[in-house]
Amino acid sequence: MSIKPISTVKTISDYIPVTVITTCYGRNRHLYNLLSSLMNGSVQPDEVIIVNDDADPKRLAEFPLNIIRIPTTIEASSNKTDTTKFDIGRNRNIGAAHATHDTLIFLDVDCIVAPTFIEQLSAKLQKYPDSLLMGQPRYLTRPLSVKEGLKLQSGTLTTCFLNELSVYNPYRYNFNEVDYIATSIKQTVIEQTDDYGAFWSLCFAIKRQQFEQIGGFDTQYIGYGAEDTDFSFTARKLDIDFYLTADIVYHQQHSVYRPPLNHLDSIIINANRFYEKWQHWPMEGWLKQFSNMGLIRWTAVQSTPIVVLRKPSAHEIKQAHCPNAPYV
């Protein structure tokens, strides 16, 4: 299969041999903010792969980054084009397969990286090359305005501003703020953990060899939920060490559902897939909420597949919608 990406040429020479991989559809305002932050980092990745169909090539050309855009459509054996639904795991695998470099940093499109993020995280991966490394998310409490997006692109939106506009998710492990300040004699903090369930694919780094050893993301998961925990559990099974780092990404705010009733179907399919594979239920908090609402038949001790009893009503989905929440 031959893919002809759209590429823009970097004009800045201060780069490191790293491939950043992201994927999106219909989230291009987030994408442009991500590219702005990469462009203004302390170093730039040599390559940014975007698995995406609808970004504006003229807009991408504004960023002095080596951008490779790969379509999410695939050419079938019959020479017909097969357009699939957006599949984040599959798209990440495609991005990794086309990467030039062995150091891979995966970022969700709604990330904004702190200025030292690429430099610090890639340096840690050189020190721990056989490992899986994850950054530290902070969550913006509202979307950036157009004016703020332009300031981000020009490099004049400060980390102090982003820190004041963001919060930690109290349900995740968080470093102290002093831990993510890098100086010439002090690096950001890194800690090894045995809690592979803490892995989240929002922002992580891994060498190509380990990514291929894991087998990439299991594409039998569909839509939303559990594919990243499956990835980290496979890493644990293969004795790949897992580290949390204090290297910051800012998660761009967008509306969420608590619980995520809008993703009920894929969550149940993926939970059943995960249990079949690992004999462990993922996303237990959400499953418990779905069960309490009478949507599914499930208990934490069962070993049989989850049964969907009914779909949520339009009113229930509306009630779960949180347009101003920073995180699920």
Interatomic CA distance for residues 44 and 155, integer angstroms: 13
Tens of pLDDT, residue by residue over 162-176, are: 999 999 999 889 998
Number of Cβ atoms within 10 Å of the Cβ of 74:
13
Number of Cβ atoms within 10 Å of the Cβ of 270:
24
Tens of pLDDT, residue by residue over 92-146, are: 999 999 999 999 999 999 999 999 999 999 999 999 999 999 999 999 999 999 9
Give 7's strand partners.
68
Nearest 5°: the CA angle 83, 275, 325 is 65
Q: What's at 104, amino acid-wise?
A: L
Annotation: CATH topology of 6-254: Spore Coat Polysaccharide Biosynthesis Protein SpsA; Chain A (3.90.550)
Average pLDDT across each block of 10 residues of the chain; the chain has 328 residues. List them in order: 38 78 92 98 97 92 96 56 67 97 98 97 97 98 97 96 96 86 77 96 98 97 92 98 97 96 96 97 97 98 97 97 94
pLDDT at position 85: 63
pLDDT at position 184: 61
| Cβ 256 vs Cβ 309: under 8 Å | no
DSSP state of 143: P
Helices (H) and strands (E) in the chain, counts: 11, 17
| Cβ 317 vs Cβ 256: under 8 Å | no
Enumerate the domain spans of the chain. 6-254, 261-322
Number of Cβ atoms within 10 Å of the Cβ of 263:
17
Interatomic CA distance for residues 100 and 67, integer angstroms: 12
pLDDT at position 179: 79
